[in-house]
Amino acid sequence: MSTSPVTWPRALRLNKARRPARRPRRRTPGHPRWGAHWWPGERFCLPTAAAAAALAAVLLLLALGFPGPAAAQTDQAQSQDVAILTDGPEKARGIAYLPSNVLPHFRARYEYLDSSIEVLYTEEEIVRFARWEGVRCEGYQLYQVNGGSGSREAARPVFFYQTEEYSLFLQLPREQLCSFLQRFMRKFVYFRSVREMPSERPPFPAIVD
């Protein structure tokens, strides 16, 4: 055993020499140092050049007005096949689609697929003209009142639907007739069945979907 005096610097060197070697930390192959296996004390690596370029491209598209995910979802919701009640029902007299008359009725207007649809409801007895052409819409028998002429508003045909209790006049593009009618009647018939009778206004649904 050595009895030579040990200075302070020499003691530090001896202490370091006796420490066991540190085992290297194992990392999962394929994972970068800045990913899921980042160890405390290690230097954090910034994203790669490819990731930075992708982020710059996204920011450029947004700056140019390209719609983001939120805008795309909003546009999709607005483009759904839904009709919205925008006016009425209002009570009026005189159905314009018939010869001179003072028949009481209720009028409502819907916005549907960039079109304006007018719906007239009356419980007065309507005599159907023989010249009205029959139109079938999957279980609903309608009649086209006119073929459309003149202004853009008048160019849209008018269709007549009648039950034992009421009659409807619908003015809308022919290609939208069946899709709108089926959805409208499903809610309209249901609301009529649950409303308190008699009612001052017909139960036009606020949303037809």
Domain boundaries, the chain: 49-78, 83-208
Q: 75 φ, ψ to 5°?
A: -65, -40
**pLDDT tops 90 at residue 114:** no
pTM here is: 0.58
Tell me the C-alpha distance between 170 and 112, whole Å: 13
Tell me the C-alpha distance between 127 and 124, whole Å: 10
Tell me the C-alpha distance between 75 and 107, whole Å: 30
**pLDDT tops 60 at residue 44:** no
Its sign, for the CA torsion 166, 167, 173, 176, is positive
Fold category of 83-208 in CATH = Protein Transport Mog1p; Chain A (3.40.1000)
**pLDDT tops 70 at residue 20:** no
**pLDDT tops 70 at residue 62:** no
55 confidence band (pLDDT: 50, 70, 90): confident
**pLDDT tops 70 at residue 132:** yes
197 confidence band (pLDDT: 50, 70, 90): low
- CB–CB of 32/45 below 8 Å? yes
**pLDDT tops 80 at residue 86:** yes
Tell me the C-alpha distance between 172 and 157, whole Å: 6
**pLDDT tops 70 at residue 156:** yes
- The pLDDT, as a whole number, for residue 35 is 44
